[in-house]
Chain A
Amino acid sequence: MKKGFIFSTDAAIGIAVVFLAIGTASLFYFNTGSEAKIFQTIEQNASDAAAIGFYLNKTPADMGMGTAISDDAKQGYCATNYTYNPDNQLGTQAVPAEKKYCGKT
């Protein structure tokens, strides 16, 4: 190092590495937040679709949803409803059929 030269190249590279690490960590943090919000939206849409599907006897396809989460999905959520049988009585219950309403990204 030359006499009187304060800032070395090592120090400059060190600072650059620290800034890069902080930037990467921040990016990861913000990404996690947005992914969580997307999941919340999927969960809400699936739950709404299952409720409306039950009230109006609509299939998952009618509600714009799938019946399962495909392997290529990044995130997914399924809400389930069961058939309502007003004639059910003790000892003669029909087995309720389930319908899954799945959303994904």
Chain B
Amino acid sequence: MRRPVNCFKVKNMKKAQLLSLDLLIALVAIVFALGLLVQLSETRIYSQKEETMQKELESIGNTAAVRLVGNPDIICSLTSDSGTHISYLENCIDTAKINQPNLGIPQNYGFALFEKGNPNPIAGTAIPTAPAPKNVFAEKRIVVTHSGPLSKSDFEKCLAGPAGNPCLGATNRLAQNEITLYLWRQ
């Protein structure tokens, strides 16, 4: 009877030699690859967590910026001359009505609204410096500001008025402004 051939038999191997040089190199490579894989996984998990937080911040920030110029609780109410509400005017905001719930910003987020040329926030709190927030979302919107309801006849003066001139007088004019919203996770 013929004996089966042992495929794994290494003819030139010395007696008692367990590991060949190839196997040793392969083991080192496998250990290195496993280490790299673990490290990459950790990095990926961390970056995914960061990305999720960043996307959440952006999503809340974009929503707040849209609400800033479109939420009826913030924007100007156009009324008839007798005071009856007619419509809401997008991008016309009453800065006194801006607050965190109206912007849809959750409690664990901080926000600040700055108008162009004014170092103090017109709503919210100043951006903290110690410790400074890791990520800050910012978005600029062009608006007109006005306090209280706007009557139709005043509004029509603005529509017909010469470009650049205050249409409602110096006290409560429909003034063009640039508002920047800053948002961060507390």
Which A positions have Cβ atoms within 8 angstroms of B?
4, 6, 44-45, 48-49, 51-52, 54-59, 62-63, 84, 86
The reply on B26 being an interface residue by CB < 8 A is yes
Q: Which of B113-121, B125-133, B160-168 contacts A (4 or more CB under 8 A)?
A: B160-168
Is B160 in contact with A55, judged by CB distance below 8 angstroms?
no
Chain A: minimal CB distance from B117 (Å):
17
Residues of A within 8 A of B161 (CB): 56-57
The answer, among A4, A52, A54, A86, for a CB contact under 8 Å with B142, is: A52
A-B contacts besides A52-B144, A57-B162, A84-B156, 13 pairs, CB < 8 Å: A6-B26, A48-B69, A51-B90, A54-B159, A55-B89, A55-B91, A55-B92, A56-B167, A56-B174, A56-B176, A57-B158, A58-B163, A84-B159
Name 13 A/B residue pairs within 8 A (Cβ), A-sorted. Answer: A4-B22, A6-B26, A44-B65, A48-B91, A52-B142, A52-B144, A55-B91, A56-B167, A56-B176, A57-B162, A57-B163, A58-B163, A84-B156
The residue on A at minimum CB distance from B156 is A86
Cα-based distance from A4 to B23 in the complex (angstroms) = 9
The answer, among B22, B89, B142, B163, for a CB contact under 8 Å with A48, is: B142
The reply on B136 being an interface residue by CB < 8 A is no
The residue on A at minimum CB distance from B66 is A44
Question: How many residues of chain B are within 8 Å of chain A by beta carbon?
Answer: 27
The reply on B21 being an interface residue by CB < 8 A is yes
Is B158 in contact with A56, judged by CB distance below 8 angstroms?
yes
